[in-house]
Chains A and B, each alone.
Chain A
Amino acid sequence: MTPLIELRKVSKYFGPVVSLKDIDMRVYAGEVHCLLGDNGAGKSTLIKALSGVHQPSEGQIYMEGQPVVFNSPRDALDKGIATVYQDLAMLPLMSISRNFFLGREPKKKVGPFTLYDAAFAAQVAREEMKKIGIDIRDPDQPVGTLSGGERQSVAIARAVYFGAKVLILDEPTSALGVKESAVVLKYIVQAKLRGLGVIFITHNVHHAWAVGDTFTVLNRGRSYGTFKKEEATREQLLQMMAGGEELEALAVELDLIAKKDPTTAAQIEHKAAEELHKPN
């Protein structure tokens, strides 16, 4: 099966900063591909390369087997890659239906004028939201009156409606509570069942484990590799995500310091306490 989207040896440099180095990754239709890694690992940079915000410095992206270049977010969108950003998903003061169609307004011709078809927008927004289980009373109500999970859901519904083949979600659950996250995770699965390839970025290994089929772990711009769910355990994944080996090394080091030199450790502690209690 040809992957929906494939990265071969993709690197991205910002001046001297190496954000991504030689990344290989394949996303297939009908799978949830989780992208994991610590802060600064390069996850956002990777999806920005996929969504047309950045162009890779080296390497090539393929879509359904064909090499592609995404010149702008709009370009990627037109080619079927929709991205839902955690914070930039919606304009809170704008109505649900206007948000839903922002940038791709439905048009109707009235005489010589091309108008925004508000009635159509309202109807579609309501129907599409209903399909994912949210019954909005009034598509004219501002998005700001929806809860965080519902807002994410509007963004996902929008991407699905506009025929996205690949849906990229950058930490959609990071600001959400347990219930709200569950709502969003449900739509991720729904999108996958509809045959989309979903790239799901998260820091939460439980969320990743709940919906993911495949996992790619990034660390300092490099890939630790891709694992199928059958091939790994949750604990292994967690270790890789947190840079487990480094953590272990650090624990040992701290332990050593404490054992070898209790006086220094105590002094450091004392000094820190003094600093804290100083006025100003």
Chain B
Amino acid sequence: MAVRTQDERLRPISLWQRLLLRPELGSIAGLVVVFGFFAIAAGGSGFLTWAGTRNYLEVAAQLGILAAAVALLMIGGEFDLSVGSMIGVAAVMMAILSHPDYGGLPISLSLVITLGFALLIGYFNGWLVLRTGLPSFIVTLAMMFILSGANIGFTKLITKLTIVSGLGDSLAKDPLSFLFTGAFLGLPAAVWWWLGVTLVLSWVLLRTPFGNWIFGAGGDPTAARNVGVPVRRVKITLFMLTAAAATVVAAIQVMGLGSANVLQGMGKELEAVAASVIGGCLLSGGYGSVIGAGIGALILAIVQQGIVYTNIDLDWFKVMVGGMILGAVILNNYLRKLSMQVRR
């Protein structure tokens, strides 16, 4: 048998081909463009200052926590449109449980109870999707209306209002609220949560067997099931994870503001999907990146906050977001096609 040298067998693969295999390549390009644009257009008016940076990082953080979980769920082949309403439900629930006039519980205990409830909703979402075999898009769309409607209904029933405020005292008493409102190295807790959640979930996706199952469950559930991937368990876990991420965002908001509002989180579900898609996730599942979703969240936040520093009217924000999504998806699509060209 002819012995071939290691070098010959491992003919070098060009750096470009390696990069093409990264789903987040397009979003990095987008980040450079968007940051460059605002650095030039608004660099002189405070966008590049520490305060300006903190501003968009904070916005990116809340969206990014959500997007990390939503991206995993999308890679697993499912959607969760109820995640925005879930933020509102979790926020109000936490607030009512801790409010001196109602629950009177320590905020950390309320958080644990709320988290338990959110996990239950996530489980139910997953169970319903798998049980009915309907697209999760439809099932969670229904859940979005149910959650936000019930939220307003119950909140009015209990408090006669749609806002629960006056949590300042119970927050001050609970040292654990620092975990959501404090700051470390000059950056707010939310940013650390964002970094932590993104790194951990990305690590799970790329470095654990469970991560491989997520790709499998999203890419081709039947094929994955046939080779032994517990597709049901994977998907239900991801729905629960998404609901948990919504709870973390709710905790950051409630503890930061000392109040909760039934409308909180509205529209966040689509922003999270947008961030994930900009970051390279495929709507059809089986492909994407958690880091990419984080970059997507950062891009959206830079556009949203950066526009404040320019002379452009704020009303144009959505136009820019739409343009970003379109551009990113077209770019991602093109790069993926390049990477899939038969190489041998």
Q: How many residues of A contact B (CB 8 A)?
A: 39
Complex-state Cα separation, A16 to B227, whole angstroms: 30
Asked if A146 and B223 make an inter-chain contact with CB atoms under 8 angstroms apart, the answer reads no
Comparing A31-39, A81-89, A206-214, the segment that makes contact with chain B is A81-89
Question: Mind listing 15 A-B residue pairs with CB under 8 Å?
Answer: A53-B226, A73-B228, A91-B219, A94-B219, A103-B213, A104-B228, A114-B208, A116-B208, A136-B344, A137-B9, A137-B11, A137-B344, A141-B343, A142-B340, A147-B342
Complex-state Cα separation, A102 to B9, whole angstroms: 25
B2 within 8 A of A: no
Least CB distance from B236 to A in Å reads 18
Complex-state Cα separation, A94 to B287, whole angstroms: 8
Complex-state Cα separation, A83 to B224, whole angstroms: 13
B341 within 8 A of A: yes
Asked if A101 and B212 make an inter-chain contact with CB atoms under 8 angstroms apart, the answer reads yes
A246 within 8 A of B: no
Find the A residue at minimum CB distance from B286: A93
Asked if B225 and A135 make an inter-chain contact with CB atoms under 8 angstroms apart, the answer reads no
A107 within 8 A of B: yes
Chain A interface mostly helix, strand, loop or mixed? Answer: loop
Q: Give the interface size bracket for B toward A.
A: 35 or more
Which A-B residue pairs are the 8 nearest by beta carbons?
A103-B227, A103-B228, A105-B209, A91-B219, A74-B228, A88-B223, A73-B226, A93-B287
Complex-state Cα separation, A98 to B13, whole angstroms: 19
A115 within 8 A of B: yes
**List of A residues within 8 angstroms of B219 by Cβ:** 91-94
**List of B residues within 8 angstroms of A14 by Cβ:** none
Asked if A102 and B286 make an inter-chain contact with CB atoms under 8 angstroms apart, the answer reads no
User: In the complex, which of the residues A85, A104, A116 has the most CB atoms of chain B within 10 Å of its own CB atom?
Assistant: A116
Least CB distance from B323 to A in Å reads 27
**List of B residues within 8 angstroms of A90 by Cβ:** 223
**With A88-B222, A94-B216 given, is the CB distance from A116 to B211 under 8 Å?**
yes
**List of B residues within 8 angstroms of A141 by Cβ:** 21, 343
Least CB distance from A129 to B in Å reads 11
B10 within 8 A of A: yes
Find the B residue at minimum CB distance from A78: B228
**List of B residues within 8 angstroms of A88 by Cβ:** 220, 222-223, 226
Complex-state Cα separation, A55 to B216, whole angstroms: 25
**List of B residues within 8 angstroms of A105 by Cβ:** 209, 212
Asked if A94 and B343 make an inter-chain contact with CB atoms under 8 angstroms apart, the answer reads no
Choice from A77, A91, A150 contacting B223 with Cβ under 8 Å = A91
**List of B residues within 8 angstroms of A150 by Cβ:** 344
**With A136-B344, A137-B11 given, is the CB distance from A85 to B223 under 8 Å?**
yes
Question: Which residues, 88 to 147 on A, are CB-close (under 8 Å) to B?
Answer: 88-95, 98, 101-105, 107, 113-116, 118, 135-138, 140-142, 144-147
B229 within 8 A of A: yes
Choice from A116, A137, A147 contacting B209 with Cβ under 8 Å = A116
Asked if A146 and B286 make an inter-chain contact with CB atoms under 8 angstroms apart, the answer reads no
Find the A residue at minimum CB distance from B342: A145
Question: Which residues, 141 to 165 on A, are CB-close (under 8 Å) to B?
Answer: 141-142, 144-147, 150
**List of A residues within 8 angstroms of B216 by Cβ:** 91, 94, 102-103
**List of B residues within 8 angstroms of A98 by Cβ:** 212, 215
Least CB distance from B19 to A in Å reads 12
Taking A85-B226, A91-B223 as known contacts, 20 extra A-B pairs with beta carbons closer than 8 A to each other, sorted by chain A number, are A51-B226, A74-B227, A83-B226, A91-B215, A91-B220, A93-B282, A94-B215, A94-B216, A103-B224, A105-B209, A107-B209, A116-B207, A118-B207, A137-B9, A141-B343, A145-B340, A145-B342, A145-B344, A146-B344, A150-B344
**With A142-B21, A142-B340 given, is the CB distance from A104 to B10 under 8 Å?**
no
**With A85-B223, A90-B223, A116-B211 given, is the CB distance from A144 to B229 under 8 Å?**
no
B339 within 8 A of A: yes
Complex-state Cα separation, A267 to B247, whole angstroms: 74
Question: Which residues, 191 to 236 on A, are CB-close (under 8 Å) to B?
Answer: none
Asked if B286 and A135 make an inter-chain contact with CB atoms under 8 angstroms apart, the answer reads no
Asked if B223 and A104 make an inter-chain contact with CB atoms under 8 angstroms apart, the answer reads no
Asked if A140 and B227 make an inter-chain contact with CB atoms under 8 angstroms apart, the answer reads no
Complex-state Cα separation, A137 to B8, whole angstroms: 10
Complex-state Cα separation, A105 to B344, whole angstroms: 26
Least CB distance from A46 to B in Å reads 16
Complex interface bits, B207-249 against A, C-beta within 8 A gives 1, otherwise 0: 1110111011001101111111100000000000000000000
Question: Which residues, 171 to 190 on B, are CB-close (under 8 Å) to A?
Answer: none
Complex-state Cα separation, A101 to B216, whole angstroms: 11
**List of B residues within 8 angstroms of A145 by Cβ:** 339-344
Choice from A104, A107, A142 contacting B339 with Cβ under 8 Å = A142
Complex-state Cα separation, A85 to B226, whole angstroms: 10
Find the B residue at minimum CB distance from A87: B223
Asked if A102 and B222 make an inter-chain contact with CB atoms under 8 angstroms apart, the answer reads no
Least CB distance from B213 to A in Å reads 8
Choice from A73, A94, A101, A137 contacting B286 with Cβ under 8 Å = A94
